[in-house]
A and B are shown apart, each in its own frame.
Chain A
Amino acid sequence: MNDMTPIVRQTTIKDWETDQEVRWCPGCGDYAILKAVQRTMPEIGSTPENTVFVSGIGCSSRFPYYMETYGFHTIHGRAPAVATGLKLANPKLDVWIITGDGDALSIGGNHTMHLLRRNLDCQIMLFNNEIYGLTKGQYSPTSRVGTNSPSTPYGSVDRPAAPCAFALGSGARFVARGFDVSKNLPEVLKAAHAHRGAAFIEIFQNCIVYNKDVFEDFAAPKGAEDRQLWLRNGDPMLFAKGTKGIALDSDALTLKVVDVIDGDWQAAGVIVHDVTNRSVAHMLVEMRFGEFPMALGVLYDDPRPTFEAELLGQNASVAAGKQADFAALLKKGQTWIVGDEVGPEL
């Protein structure tokens, strides 16, 4: 977000839609995410001209073409680097990075890490479909072990990366999770936008062609209550209609699922979610689905000074009081005059 951006006018969802034909496969989860973003934008005080969507390469990275804002569809993995230069050139812009699991964690893993540790003020939406869609279905760095794909006909053998754990390990100060068709997605996006600094959002996205329904086990509406843990700051970590919760196993120093009897979550030792608690955030991003519900919502939110504020602030303070006299700069150091009489000018 950027609090220097004045609210120029109230926009509606129509103001954020382009005339471009959307080219994702019918039924792709990207459509739902696009709608969620377009629905969110009028509510966060941004204006289309001050908003820039920067993407890499992949299905998700076509996103900027469908937003009536400024947009830059860059090259594979490099959106964070382009966004960094853009934001340093004009820190007033509201910058959103759109990326995927291959784009952000394979070819662009290095840039993702450094953007997060530097804490550039922007939103990073990582569409995680656990597959390479645009190249026709090869397994990705987030694919589960055993994924059958054109490049792994006998199943993949390498263990998947955990995007939120990667983000937190890289120094992210905001980590959130959602999924394409979730009604809560706009709320997560708003929180990300309200965070000053790099806000990392992993969005599970259903690739209906190459990895269909791979998130069904927790995203399916039926039984969702039992499988989704929606985290809200200040609320106890409850799910399954309040009959279960997350507590600390103080012997193993891990989290555990506990039964909550008659709504008495305190007696069960259920943790109250504190978005600034980095230790708990580390445990939440490592929670394995199955044994645990899928942790969703804002997992961690504890702002620190942003990269561009620090860097441009230093530039300004170093430059303060100095005259930018280019002629003097050219003459800097030891000079001498050649004339009628040769001699040093010391």
Chain B
Amino acid sequence: MATIADQPTGAAPLQASDAVVVRFAGDSGDGMQLTGGQFTLSSALAGNDFATFPDFPAEIRAPQGTLFGVSAFQINFGSTAIDTAGDAPDVLVAMNPAALKTNVGVLKPGGLIIADEGEFNARNLDKAKYTSNPLDDDSLARWQLLKLNISQATLDAVKPFGLGNKEALRCKNMWTLGLALWMFDRDRAPLVDWLRTKFAKNPVLADANIAALNAGHAYGETAELSGPLKQYHVAPADVPSGLYRSLTGAEGIALGLVAGAQLAKLPMFFGGYPITPASAILHHLSRLKEYGVTTFQAEDEIAAICSAIGASYGGALGVTSSSGPGIALKGEAMGLAIMTELPLVIVNSQRGGPSTGLPTKTEQSDLYQAVYGRNGDAPMPVIAARSPGDAFECAIEAVRIAVEYMTPVMLLTDGYIANAAEPWAVPELGDYAPFPVEFLDHVPEGGYKPYARDEKLARRWVKPGTPGLLHRIGGIEKEVDTGHINYSPANHQVMTDLRKAKVDGVAKSIPDQSCELGAPGGKLAIVGWGSTYGPIRQAVSRARERGLDVSHIHVRHIWPLPANLGDLLRTFDQVIVPEMNTGQFKTVLRDQYLIDARPLNKVSGQPFTIAEIEAAIAGALA
């Protein structure tokens, strides 16, 4: 049985709250992502709103016990609207010294540390570069400390099942999860069901994990009276009624693309090449054959986009996806899609750069690449998703623009959105206006001209195989209307202007920009895009509660920008643009509107905290 070696140290007990932030941290082999995922599910079933932040190393299985091998999962859940994964955890579960060392710094003062003291041996302390055991010195005095020998408790709990030592210790995460479920008054039954399904082929492992889960839960029950362990009940969030599910950004993108293809009445072709953190989109889509999805794992990023262009040329909705380095490789082919005026959706799950950068960490530093990163004058619509649920909407919007304007469209998301989960009110496809594609299948009056344009300046889509409409396209400059090769100076001027006017014209089909919070004409606008939505919204909301005159504007359409955005921004005395880059959208706004937009930048691979944005608001309005 587990024992508490010492009475907990520390000050005030954990306060019950509308919202709680828990961070599970352990070795990459400890199953922290799985633990976090299951705890998320139990939060969903308890009716809480939530946001999660998986934070894991780029190495698949880094050497055990090392600082760089720590994998963490943070969840913020509550009875109020949750927009971020939380600035600072209330509870940190540290499965080894390295996990404690790398995560304790962000723990709220007075917060609770639950540490597996069974792992705080000389070897692991040394790997974590501790000179003395932090569980035994005063270094953790700012927090409440609960030392449990989780390893031993787990071994005891699973002893009847005759597992080897290594296998038995792998049940540690379930013991921990059991304790967490007790702390937050959660039902164990869905977890037990899940374990039975997961280990259907190995009932002994199922039983052992369930025993560990139950033991952790039982420990909470029996230890309640003697320590800092208290049970909390976080009431269900007050959200609109309806059917909900948990949705990650990668799922949102995949489902949104399929929805978009259905609304366009097109089969979808997805060409992809494995890259973190974009691969999950390929994985999801590869299981959706019955929805008219063909997935193709290409030999490289260039082949991935070129195959998608080939499929679009053939009459399917071509889609490709990657992350920064792969998007760079696709640049020339994007130009081909722009020149041949074929629809294409390019999803960029941004990560820390440049070069290989930080593959598993989030960043918003591909905005310049998205808007400007091609040779020649190569305009292309760019959309940015703010959350997993919004990624679904944005994917549909990207498909709409691509097929209505016969253009490639880039959809920006990032590592944070791709991996994070949030509750999602399941929509009805019937609520979305369809935009069925009509292929040209006969010679129009006056003869067929491949580059003749409609009122949107889009050319008609013709499938090879159609009699009477034979034509040739390519990357060489096209003659107006006919599409023949034409190098003449006047023609290039006209065609360049037409391509620009076509993409600029997309602004006519997108909604005017409004304020998320606040109203036009105030002292300060915080202008965000993409995954900074959560922390900006929370920070602005708190500042407004304190009576500060600040508004939140969040831009989905990065290019072209909403037609009224310049006028809207000019109504504010100050404009601050928080971004996880060195000021890229800020520069675009300055260039487009000649306004004094000021940057608030963070490039640490971590999302903004609410406090960081609150501080910027306070500073600006001081």
Q: Which one, A219-227, A271-279, A292-300, A323-331, is touching chain B?
A: A323-331
B436 within 8 A of A: no
When A and B form their complex, which 5 residue pairs have the shortest distance between CB atoms, in order from nearest? A73-B474, A85-B310, A89-B314, A85-B307, A81-B306
Give B298-319 as 1s and 0s: 1 = Cβ < 8 Å from A's Cβ atoms. Answer: 1110111011111111111010
B1 within 8 A of A: no
Chain B residues, Cβ within 8 Å of A68: 470
22 chain-A/chain-B pairs, Cβ below 8 angstroms: A71-B472, A71-B474, A72-B473, A73-B474, A74-B474, A81-B310, A82-B313, A84-B307, A84-B310, A85-B307, A85-B310, A86-B311, A89-B294, A89-B312, A90-B464, A90-B465, A114-B298, A335-B244, A336-B245, A337-B241, A338-B241, A346-B45
**Inter-chain contact B243/A337, CB cutoff 8 Å:** yes
Q: Which one, A28-36, A48-56, A186-194, A231-239, is touching chain B?
A: A48-56
Q: Which residue, A65, A75, A92, has most C-beta atoms of chain B within 10 A?
A: A75
Chain B residues, Cβ within 8 Å of A340: 241
Could you say which of A47, A69, A85 contacts B296, with CB atoms under 8 Å apart?
A85
Q: Decide yes or no: A329 and B336 within 8 Å by CB, A334-B245, A336-B44 being known contacts.
A: no
For residue B462, which residue of chain A has the nearest CB? A70
Tell me, rounded to whole Å, the shortest Cβ–Cβ distance linking A94 to chain B. 10
- For the complex with contacts A87-B314, A331-B426, 16 further pairs of A-B residues with Cβ separation under 8 Å are A20-B485, A73-B473, A74-B309, A75-B336, A81-B304, A81-B310, A84-B303, A85-B313, A89-B267, A93-B314, A110-B300, A114-B303, A314-B289, A318-B289, A332-B245, A339-B242
Q: Decide yes or no: A71 and B473 within 8 Å by CB, A337-B243, A337-B244 being known contacts.
A: yes
Q: Which one, B65-73, B141-149, B254-262, is touching chain A?
A: B254-262
Tell me, rounded to whole Å, the shortest Cβ–Cβ distance linking A287 to chain B. 30
A322 within 8 A of B: yes
A104 within 8 A of B: no
Could you say which of A47, A64, A311, A326 contacts B474, with CB atoms under 8 Å apart?
A64
Q: Could you tell me the distance between the alpha carbons of A93 and B313 in the complex, rounded to whole angstroms?
A: 12
For residue A90, which residue of chain B has the nearest CB? B314
Q: Could you tell me the distance between the alpha carbons of A345 and B271 in the complex, rounded to whole angstroms?
A: 36
B476 within 8 A of A: yes
Give A201-227 as 1s and 0s: 1 = Cβ < 8 Å from B's Cβ atoms. Answer: 000000000000000000000000000
**Inter-chain contact B299/A85, CB cutoff 8 Å:** no
For residue A319, which residue of chain B has the nearest CB? B290
Residues of chain B from 552 to 574 with CB closer than 8 A to chain A in the complex: none
A312 within 8 A of B: yes
B288 within 8 A of A: yes
**Inter-chain contact A83/B244, CB cutoff 8 Å:** no
B63 within 8 A of A: no
Q: Could you tell me the distance between the alpha carbons of A312 and B300 in the complex, rounded to whole angstroms?
A: 21
Could you say which of B269, B299, B429 contacts A326, with CB atoms under 8 Å apart?
B429
Tell me, rounded to whole Å, the shortest Cβ–Cβ distance linking A107 to chain B. 10
Chain A residues, Cβ within 8 Å of B47: 336, 338, 342-343
Chain B residues, Cβ within 8 Å of A74: 306, 309, 336, 474-475
Tell me, rounded to whole Å, the shortest Cβ–Cβ distance linking A210 to chain B. 21
Tell me, rounded to whole Å, the shortest Cβ–Cβ distance linking B473 to chain A. 6
Q: Could you tell me the distance between the alpha carbons of A113 and B427 in the complex, rounded to whole angstroms?
A: 44
**Inter-chain contact B255/A72, CB cutoff 8 Å:** no
Chain A residues, Cβ within 8 Å of B105: none
**Inter-chain contact A334/B315, CB cutoff 8 Å:** no
Residues of chain A from 85 to 113 with CB closer than 8 A to chain B in the complex: 85-90, 92-93, 110-111, 113
Chain A residues, Cβ within 8 Å of B469: 49
**Inter-chain contact A69/B336, CB cutoff 8 Å:** no
Tell me, rounded to whole Å, the shortest Cβ–Cβ distance linking A168 to chain B. 19
A344 within 8 A of B: yes
For residue B485, which residue of chain A has the nearest CB? A65
Could you say which of A49, A114, A339, A345 contacts B468, with CB atoms under 8 Å apart?
A49
A196 within 8 A of B: no
B449 within 8 A of A: no
B236 within 8 A of A: yes
Give A307-318 as 1s and 0s: 1 = Cβ < 8 Å from B's Cβ atoms. Answer: 000011011101
Q: Decide yes or no: A93 and B307 within 8 Å by CB, A75-B333, A88-B269 being known contacts.
A: no
**Inter-chain contact A88/B311, CB cutoff 8 Å:** yes
**Inter-chain contact B303/A89, CB cutoff 8 Å:** no
For residue A345, which residue of chain B has the nearest CB? B243
Q: Could you tell me the distance between the alpha carbons of A83 and B304 in the complex, rounded to whole angstroms?
A: 12
B547 within 8 A of A: no
Q: Decide yes or no: A72 and B243 within 8 Å by CB, A78-B303, A90-B315 being known contacts.
A: no
Chain A residues, Cβ within 8 Å of B313: 72, 82, 85-86, 89
For residue A338, which residue of chain B has the nearest CB? B241
**Inter-chain contact B242/A338, CB cutoff 8 Å:** yes
**Inter-chain contact B311/A89, CB cutoff 8 Å:** yes
Q: Which residue, A74, A318, A343, has most C-beta atoms of chain B within 10 A?
A: A74
Chain A residues, Cβ within 8 Å of B335: 75
